[in-house]
Amino acid sequence: MFQRTNRLLIDLPHVEYGDANAAAAVQELLGGKFGEMSTLNNYLYQSFNFRAKRKLKPFYDLVSSIAAEEVGHVELVANTVNLVSKSSSFEGDPDVTPLQNGKDFRNTHQFIATAQTSLAGDSMGNAWRGDYVFSSGNLVLDLLHNFFLECGARTHKMRVYEMTSHPVAREMIGYLLVRGGTHIIAYAKAMEMATGVDVTKLLPIPNLDNRVFDNARKYEDMGYGNVLFTWNHQGDYEDIRKIWKGTHPLTGAPLVVETGTPKGGKIPELDELPEEFAPGLTAEDYQKIAKRLLENL
Output the CA–CA distances (angstroms, integers) from residue 156 to 36, 68, 123, in the order listed: 11, 21, 11
Instruction: Write out the DSSP string of 180-238.
Output: HHHHHHHHHHHHHHHHS--GGGG-SSSS--GGGSHHHHHHHHTTTTSEEE-S-SSSTTG
pTM, two decimal places? 0.96
Q: What residues have CB less than 8 Å from 245, skipping those under 6 apart?
A: 255
pLDDT at 7: 97
Residues 182-210 pLDDT 10s: 999 999 999 999 999 999 999 999 999 99
The model's confidence at residue 37, banded by pLDDT at 50, 70 and 90, is: very high
Instruction: Return the pLDDT at 24.
Output: 97
pLDDT at 253 over 80: yes
pLDDT attached to residue 255: 98
d(CA 68, CA 232): 9
**How high is the pLDDT of residue 67?**
98
> Has residue 63 got a pLDDT over 90?
yes
Is residue 297 very low, low, confident or very high in pLDDT (cuts 50, 70, 90)?
confident
Give percent above pLDDT 90 in the chain.
98
* pLDDT higher than 80, residue 266: yes
Q: Output the pLDDT for position 295.
A: 87
pLDDT tens for residues 69-99?
999 999 999 999 999 999 999 999 999 999 9
Q: From CA 4, how far away is CA 221, in angstroms rounded?
A: 28
| pLDDT value for 232 | 96
pLDDT surpasses 90 at 296? no
pLDDT at residue 270 in the model: 95
Please state, in angstroms and as integers, the Cα–Cα distance from residue 81 to each residue in 33, 60, 180, 265, 291, following that order.
17, 32, 19, 17, 34
pLDDT per residue over 207-225, tens digit each? 999 999 999 999 999 999 9
